[in-house]
Amino acid sequence: MNSKVFDTSIRYLKGVGEAREKLFNKLGIRTLRDLVEYFPRAYEDRTVFKRINSLVIGEYVCVRAIAAATPKLSHIRKGLDLVKLRVVDDVGSLEITFFNSPFVKDAIKQGESYAFYGKVSGTLLRPEMTNPLFERVQKKGAITGCIVPIYPLTAKLSQKIVSTAVRSALEKCADEFPDVIPNDISKKYNLCRASYAYENIHSPEGFKELDIARRRLIFEELFVLVTAMRLMRDRRTTQTGKYLQARDFKEFYASLSFTPTNAQKRAIDDAAADMIAGKLMNRLIQGDVGSGKTLVAAACCWLTWRSGLQSAFMAPTEILAKQHYKSLTDMLTPFGMSVGLLTGSTTAKGKHEIYEQLRYGEIDLIIGTHALLSEGVEFRNLGLVITDEQHRFGVEQRSMLTEKGDSPHVLVMSATPIPRTLALIIYGDLDVSIIDEMPPGRREIETHVVDERYRERLYKFVRKLVSEGRQVYVICPMVEENDEDLEQESASDANKPKSVTTHHETLSKKVFPDLNVELLHGKMPAKKKDAAMAAFTSGDADILVATTVIEVGVDVPNAALIIVENADRFGLSQLHQLRGRIGRGEFQSFCVLIGEAHERLQIMKSTNDGFKIAEEDLKLRGPGDFFGSRQHGLPVMQIANLMTDMLVLHEAQGAAEKLLETDPSLSLPANRKLKEKIIQLFDTNIDKMN
Ligand code: ADP
Ligand code: MG
């Protein structure tokens, strides 16, 4: 949709005005396009008419009936009026009551036919309806006998206001819906026209029409997305990157304290092959927690340095950045590489020094957080950019870092195993290497799902492990006792979310006063966080009570037990990440999930395969929750569901592939509208496309 009408502000719609415009803006609606693309979240089925003798108590239904008498208005007390009315059809009679709607008295006339829509109450012998919607039978269609859209709302905007605005937007745009799907594809996949689809998604004539409309819109959404991703990818494969000199990795491997797995070697070889060929690398390393992705990153930095170029490695949290700094320093400084660390808590003086060293090429590898995106960061010769846990960074942040160099190679590491089908879309613009093998000698983690009754036994077990020299994580879902979330809970005490600070108090003062119990959460000052993490890493602390700040990447091989409080409050993939914190050393490790939703948690017990868990999680929660909003940097799906619309997705992929074979840059007139749509959707990335 690129015509002018669609870009008109909603302010000019009848009945919208300035105040309402603001409310609509809150819903993300600014233009007519936004309005017509604001799809209902559900529909109310008012198509079913029943005769009075077959009504079912509790159901919502339409009834055609004649007013048996003039409605009777009575003032019960100040602020309470009742209108009572009996209506009949040829088989029964129905009592209707309207509260505080005195106008009904004159609106309904004895002996005339009306259609009512409402919830049936009363008894089967004496059915009733309260405050039903109604209209004259002759007028049928506006209120009864139709399917009514239900829109997601914000306070102060009623269904009526939204649907009226949508209706007038649809009318204004009526003849201008451009079909972004090329004709032959529409034909091949049996898709209705865009105008029909928009009309029927908002005001469906029937459920069949609604299905036809939905199918078209879902197809369109997915088709535009996969075409865009393919375009980016295809364009990239023709781009050249910096040539790196080939090197024998044996030299690098020789300095390690362990032997890389075959899967690690394969991933390293994939990456090296890209960079040595002078192809611009854009590669995703996907591997389950603990599969050893850091080593792949280190090898790539080493290769880059061998060709005299710098590398930058960005992590989503300070804790993780520091940890990478430590392990990469260990692996790389023996070769004479200089490694730097830059985070939000680096002192001004320290930053200044690092900026200088980067500019002069005195630092070969800089590791850091978002701080790497600061203006002061400039490189002498940036050859490689690595981002860890990438779905926490948007595509834009990734490119902000690459723009600091002259098309550096890009390596992305994801710890969230994404079901293959989804990875195809989300990382459609990247090549993928999968590390599907764990380092040897790992023991299977023993996982238990328990409730409060086991707490005492559990604490004994903690003591036993600590006395053997092991360490323990205790994870709580939130920080403060009076968190908003908490107040709304009416949960039983046992299931009440544990505040990390309070729980730390309990454990350190009452349960384990003789042990060293540390606290770690995101809202602590950086210095305290450092101290807590350092105490745990060095083995000084026996127990670390933390929030999910430790979720990504933290690596303390001596930790052999993780206890998750209120485990039912976490997503399965998140639990899997948390569990990934243990079983990293030679010790048998244990994961204890304390929670009520036993059934959902059982999957954690039955498998340790992150892919399987992710798939299960997606089924339960849907991709929206799974990825968080916009975290993956893709447009938010308006109507398609990446899990349930898999079939349409495959069709859309097939169609996109065929189309780009014949018109690789979408320059044919027939594909012009599609191209415009893609540019509109990915507007920040236009330059990345043809
Ligand atoms: P990931 O980032 O994939 O979750 P890490 O790179 O943090 O995993 O590695 C997890 C742990 O396994 C680290 O302690 C690391 O030193 C160790 N490790 C990595 N590769 C190997 C290997 N091939 N053999 C033995 N240990 C390994
Ligand atoms: Mg990692």
Helices 159-173 & 194-202, crossing angle to 10 degrees?
160
More confident residue, 602 or 110: 110
Please write down the long-range contacts of 165-168, taking CB distance under 8 Å and 24 or more positions apart.
Answer: 165/10, 165/13, 165/15, 165/16, 165/24, 165/35, 166/35, 166/36, 166/38, 166/202, 167/202, 167/203, 168/13, 168/14, 168/15
What average pLDDT is seen over the chain?
87
Of all protein residues, the one whose alpha carbon is nearest to atom 10 of ligand 1 is 290
413: its two tokens: 């590491």
Q: Which residue has the tokens 């209902």?
A: 40
Band (pLDDT 50/70/90 cuts) for residue 553 is: low
pLDDT at 685: 47
* Amino acid in position 139: K
**How many residues are listed for the chain in this entry?**
690
More confident residue, 229 or 37: 37
Helices 598-606 & 610-627, crossing angle to 10 degrees?
140
Q: Say if residue 216's pLDDT is above 60.
A: yes
295 CA closest ligand 1 atom index: 6
Which residues, at least 6 apart from 477, have a Cβ–Cβ distance to it below 8 Å?
Answer: 497, 498, 547, 548, 565, 566, 569, 570
Span 70-86, average pLDDT: 92
Q: Give whole-number Cα distances, 42 to 33, 148, 185, 201, 244, in Å.
A: 20, 9, 29, 10, 55
More confident residue, 139 or 62: 62
How many CB atoms neighbour CB 330 within 10 A? Answer: 14
pLDDT at 300: 98
pLDDT at 632: 47
Span 608-637, average pLDDT: 64
pLDDT at 15: 79
Eight-state DSSP code of residue 636:
P
More confident residue, 578 or 338: 338
Q: Say if residue 238's pLDDT is above 50.
A: yes
CA angle 331, 333, 336 (to 5 degrees): 135
Q: Say if residue 98's pLDDT is above 80.
A: yes
Band (pLDDT 50/70/90 cuts) for residue 59 is: very high
Phi, psi of 517 (to 5 degrees): -110, 120
Band (pLDDT 50/70/90 cuts) for residue 392 is: low
Q: How far apart are CA 202 and CA 170, in angstroms?
A: 9
Band (pLDDT 50/70/90 cuts) for residue 595 is: confident
pLDDT at 543: 97
Q: Say if residue 486's pLDDT is above 80.
A: no
Q: How far apart are CA 186 and CA 179, in angstroms?
A: 9
Span 491-513, average pLDDT: 82
Q: Which ligand is nearest to the CA of 327?
A: 1
Q: How far apart are CA 268 and CA 292, in angstroms?
A: 11
pLDDT at 391: 58
Q: Which residues pair with 98 in a beta bridge?
A: 83
Residue of 584, 586, 587 to test ligand 1 pocket, by largest number of atoms within 8 Å of CB = 584
pLDDT at 597: 63
pLDDT at 318: 85
Q: Say if residue 461's pLDDT is above 70.
A: yes
* Ramachandran quadrant class, 623 (left: phi over 0; alpha: psi -120 to 50; beta: rest): alpha
Tell me whether strands 80-88 and 60-67 are parallel, antiparallel or unpaired.
antiparallel
Give the DSSP H/E element, type plus range, for residue 562: strand 559-564
Q: Say if residue 55's pLDDT is above 90.
A: yes
pLDDT tens, 189-198?
A: 999 999 999 9
Q: Say if residue 482's pLDDT is above 70.
A: no
CA of 116 to the centre of ligand 2 (A): 61
CA of 684 to the centre of ligand 2 (A): 29
3-state secondary structure of 144: coil
Please write down the long-range contacts of 378-381, taking CB distance under 8 Å and 24 or more positions apart.
Answer: 378/404, 379/310, 379/312, 379/404, 379/405, 380/310, 381/308, 381/309, 381/310, 381/405
Give the DSSP H/E element, type plus range, for residue 348: helix 348-359
Q: Which residues pair with 491 in a beta bridge?
A: none
Is the distance from CB of 285 to CB of 412 less than 8 angstroms?
yes
Span 364-385, average pLDDT: 95
Of all protein residues, the one whose alpha carbon is nearest to atom 27 of ligand 1 is 439
Sign of CA dihedral 244, 246, 247, 250: positive
Q: How far apart are CA 498 and CA 475, in angstroms?
A: 9
CA of 290 to the centre of ligand 1 (A): 5
* C-alpha closest to that of 483 among 494, 472, 499, 467: 499
Of all protein residues, the one whose alpha carbon is nearest to atom 19 of ligand 1 is 292
pLDDT at 656: 93
327 CA closest ligand 1 atom index: 16
Q: Say if residue 140's pLDDT is above 60.
A: no
* Amino acid in position 156: K
Burial of 154 (0-12, 13-18, 19+ CB in 10 A): middle
Give the distance, in angstroms, between the CA of residue 325 and the centroid of all CA atoms in the same chain. 29
Task: Report whether residue 537 contacts ligand 1, using a CB cutoff of 6 Å.
Answer: no
pLDDT at 602: 86
pLDDT at 526: 82
Give the DSSP H/E element, type plus range, for residue 432: strand 431-435
Band (pLDDT 50/70/90 cuts) for residue 298 is: very high
pLDDT at 480: 57
* Ramachandran quadrant class, 308 (left: phi over 0; alpha: psi -120 to 50; beta: rest): left
Q: How far apart are CA 366 and CA 341, in angstroms?
A: 6
pLDDT at 690: 35
Which residues, at least 6 apart from 545, have a Cβ–Cβ distance to it below 8 Å?
Answer: 474, 476, 500, 503, 504, 507, 508, 517, 518, 519, 520
Of all protein residues, the one whose alpha carbon is nearest to atom 9 of ligand 1 is 292
Q: Per mean pLDDT, which range of 249-253, 339-343, 566-570 is the poorest?
A: 566-570
Q: Per mean pLDDT, which range of 45-49, 419-423, 501-505, 615-619 is the poorest?
A: 419-423
Q: Which ligand is nearest to the CA of 253?
A: 1
Give the distance, in angstroms, between the CA of residue 529 and the centroid of all CA atoms in the same chain. 28
Q: Which ligand is nearest to the CA of 328?
A: 1
Q: Say if residue 365's pLDDT is above 70.
A: yes
Q: Say if residue 594's pLDDT is above 90.
A: yes
Q: Say if residue 263's pLDDT is above 60.
A: yes
Q: Tell me which range, 268-277, 441-450, 674-683, is most confidently predicted by mean pLDDT.
A: 268-277
Band (pLDDT 50/70/90 cuts) for residue 165 is: very high
Which residues, at least 6 apart from 529, have a Cβ–Cβ distance to it below 8 Å?
Answer: 318, 319, 520, 549
pLDDT tens, 661-680?
A: 999 989 999 999 999 888 87
Is the distance from CB of 545 to CB of 500 less than 8 angstroms?
yes
CA angle 144, 149, 154 (to 5 degrees): 125
Q: Say if residue 495's pLDDT is above 70.
A: no
566: its two tokens: 């209120």
pLDDT at 442: 74
pLDDT at 689: 44
Q: Say if residue 468's pLDDT is above 70.
A: yes
pLDDT at 487: 36
HSE-up (13 A, CA, CB side) for residue 118: 22
- pTM for this model (two decimals): 0.65
pLDDT at 388: 86
Q: How far apart are CA 521 and CA 529, in angstroms?
A: 7
Q: Tell me which range, 218-232, 389-403, 509-523, 569-583, is most confidently predicted by mean pLDDT.
A: 509-523
Q: Say if residue 631's pLDDT is above 60.
A: no
Residue of 294, 443, 445 to test ligand 1 pocket, by largest number of atoms within 8 Å of CB = 294
Q: Which ligand is nearest to the CA of 580?
A: 1
CA of 184 to the centre of ligand 2 (A): 46
Q: Per mean pLDDT, which range of 22-31, 91-100, 679-688 is the poorest?
A: 679-688
Task: Report whether residue 415 contacts ligand 1, using a CB cutoff of 6 Å.
Answer: yes
Band (pLDDT 50/70/90 cuts) for residue 687 is: very low
* Ramachandran quadrant class, 628 (left: phi over 0; alpha: psi -120 to 50; beta: rest): left
CA of 535 to the centre of ligand 2 (A): 20
CA of 552 to the centre of ligand 2 (A): 7
Task: Report whether residue 439 contacts ligand 1, using a CB cutoff of 6 Å.
Answer: yes
More confident residue, 426 or 32: 32
pLDDT at 178: 79
